[in-house]
Amino acid sequence: MLSQMPFDMKNVRKDDVVKEILRLAIIAELDAISLYEQLAAATDREDVKKVFLEIAGEEKTHVGEFQAMLLREDSEQVTELDKGKKEVEELLG
């Protein structure tokens, strides 16, 4: 689980800092989603399960927010996401 930055920001080019921060934020949110969904699956208590799944949903919104910001910062990421989507569509029809 991510509790601190896994790299030294001093080693990141100044032009890339925002992109790397946003990517790290996305990773943290995905980690939280995984944790909350696993915790929900681990309990038989419907009230606890409901709260964990609600919070996981909020984290998914955060992923979308950070991704939207990243796509504003990184045109290459936009291109590669589009390529990946097309490849899956071609593969699966």
Cβ–Cβ < 8 Å for 39, 86: no
The domain ranges of the chain are 16-92
Provide the sign of the torsion angle of the four alpha carbons 57, 58, 64, 70, taken in this order: negative
- pTM over cut 0.75: yes
Confidence category of residue 8, pLDDT binned at 50, 70, 90: confident
Confidence category of residue 76, pLDDT binned at 50, 70, 90: very high
Token pair listed for 27: 């990773």
